[in-house]
Structure 1
Amino acid sequence: MTSIDPTEEFRRECHDRVEGYADSAMAQSGREFMRASTEPKYSYNFSWLGRPIIQYPQDMIAMQQLIWRIQPDLIIETGIAHGGSLIFSASMLELNAACGGPADARVLGIDIDIRQHNRQAIIDHPMAKRINMIEGSSVAPEIVQQVRQQATGKRSVMVCLDSNHTHDHVLAELNAYADLTSVGSYCVVFDTIVEDLPSDMYPDRSWGPGNSPKSAVKKFLQARDDFEVDTSIDNQLLISVAPQGYLRRLR
């Protein structure tokens, strides 16, 4: 009689449990929480190693799991804001390196406007040793070229898109950077939740349902067969700003 490895048995239990969350009452509760928590800016209340991160904790855990599994030597992030996400990614790469991962792994952040006080706080942070920043539009040809140059020769690359959330901008970012994603790695498109929220929730923004990161993802995937939505992450998190935004590269 063949015994089942306890770790593998636990993994299977988790997998089956997560699959069961799809379209469940829990999933509906998660959607209701996202709607209730977005307008009062719930995601603005968290920080990572002292810097505001403007993310939901569930997505932070998902990113930790992916960074550990993939062991990237480069993470490309569009959108910097206060720098919390850069610090988060850099700290995960630092932990990877301490556990035998890529010793020289880095994070590259791109933003059209890196405010001086945020830039200085990032530069002064202990994790700055793993961070590079580029100021400029993430879809400007000269910026795209700079990013591609820094990705040259990298073994494993992750991409995270979290800047301007309009359909056209996100689609342009996908077309510019998705190809840099390594096979088996992820291009994560944040704030796809915009598509699922009431249109009047963003009266002062240029994005909304039909003009969102999720609509851009849908358009992108219609033209590509080398990426897929990893729905297992959606089912695991239930609460996320990036439903259908965790894109895994297949080939």
Structure 2
Amino acid sequence: MIGQMELLPPPVHADLKAPLRDYWLAREAQHVKDVYAGVRIQKLPEDLRMYEHLLWVSATDTVIELGTNHGGSALWFRDRLATMVSYGRISAPMVITVDLDHTKAHRAIGEPPGVSFVTGSVTDPGLPERVAALVRPDARCLVIEDTLHTYETTRAALDGFARFVPEGGFFVVEDGIVDVPDLRPDKDHLGTGVLPAVDDFLLSPAGQGFRARPDLERYGLTCFPGGFLERHTA
């Protein structure tokens, strides 16, 4: 049986005499080992805190998560939405989580109430309609892209799922750090195209309804540089 302390991520020590990038790399390595409710979640606490703000200010009641992995973030979003229900901010919460294979998630979290699993590829043009069948017509959705972090998958996610975001709602493209040399673990490794896909989407007809919100990167550390997008209000 795993001891409770073993569920904690490894510690990170800030050496004030060391370069800031050394601290960032230690945090980046730590976050992929972090957990929620005993399940791997792999998100920085600073990014989770910003998600809490976005859920509240946009009155999100439905989270569409593209990329399930172990399922820790699906649980986290489900529980945040439940808290918002308790405050009377929303009703009828739902988390829809999408991945090619949910074996790891089912092993880790089973099929918890409040979480719907959709199996498929984000590059499948029929996937958005399958998700749409689960979404209420009046739902206020937050969409999260956390799949392979390539140009192809990022652009497919934006083109296929931006339609679910209401006015004043958000689409968050995760892990743009892969395209920032000073942020990715191997700064000599070529980027994979996440940020170019975001830039091209914002220049497209569908992307004209969105604006980048770099001001939301406000906790000093984020794995999502350039990834916070808001749909314009009329």
Secondary structure at the aligned position of 2:31 is classed as helix
Partner of 1:246: 228
Partner of 2:173: 189
Q: Which runs of 5+ in 2 are unaligned?
A: 1-18
Tell me if structure 2 keeps the 8 A contact 1:73–1:154.
no
Q: Distance in 2 between matches of 1:51 and 1:135?
A: 20
Q: Which amino acid aligns with 2:194?
A: P
Q: Distance in 2 between matches of 1:200 and 1:75?
A: 29
Q: Which runs of 5+ in 1 are unaligned?
A: 1-28
Alpha carbons of structure 1 residues 155 and 134: separation in structure 2 relative to 1, 3 Å: closer
Tell me if structure 2 keeps the 8 A contact 1:34–1:240.
no
**Structure 1, 142-151 or 51-60: larger mean CA deviation:** 142-151
Say which of 98, 116, 124 aligns to 1:110: 98
1:142 CA drift (Å):
2.8
Partner of 2:203: 222
Q: Distance in 1 between matches of 2:88 and 2:185?
A: 48
Q: Which amino acid aligns with 1:94?
A: A
Say which of 134, 139, 161 aligns to 2:118: 134
Tell me if structure 1 keeps the 8 A contact 2:209–2:232.
yes
The number of equivalent residue pairs is: 212
Q: Distance in 2 between matches of 1:31 and 1:111?
A: 32
Say which of 218, 226, 233 aligns to 2:216: 233
TM-score by length of 1: 0.77
Q: Distance in 2 between matches of 1:30 and 1:186?
A: 30
Alpha carbons of structure 1 residues 200 and 192: separation in structure 2 relative to 1, 3 Å: closer
1:226 CA drift (Å):
1.2
Q: Distance in 2 between matches of 1:32 and 1:231?
A: 23
Q: Distance in 1 between matches of 2:120 and 2:65?
A: 13
1:147 CA drift (Å):
0.9
Tell me if structure 2 keeps the 8 A contact 1:192–1:245.
yes
Tell me if structure 1 keeps the 8 A contact 2:25–2:185.
no
Alpha carbons of structure 1 residues 159 and 200: separation in structure 2 relative to 1, 3 Å: closer
Q: Which digits, 9 at most, give the CA deviation of each residue in 1:151-191, with x for residues without a partner?
A: 24133111000011111110011000012111101000000
Q: Distance in 1 between matches of 2:36 and 2:221?
A: 19
Partner of 2:53: 65
Partner of 2:86: 98
1:101 CA drift (Å):
2.7
Give matches, 1:144-155, under 5 Å: 144-155=128-139
Secondary structure at the aligned position of 1:176 is classed as helix
RMSD after superposition: 2.3
Partner of 2:141: 157
Say which of 186, 199, 203 aligns to 1:201: 186
Secondary structure at the aligned position of 1:129 is classed as coil
TM-score by length of 2: 0.82
Tell me if structure 1 keeps the 8 A contact 2:181–2:187.
no
Q: Which amino acid aligns with 2:180?
A: D
Identity level (%): 23
Alpha carbons of structure 1 residues 200 and 94: separation in structure 2 relative to 1, 3 Å: closer
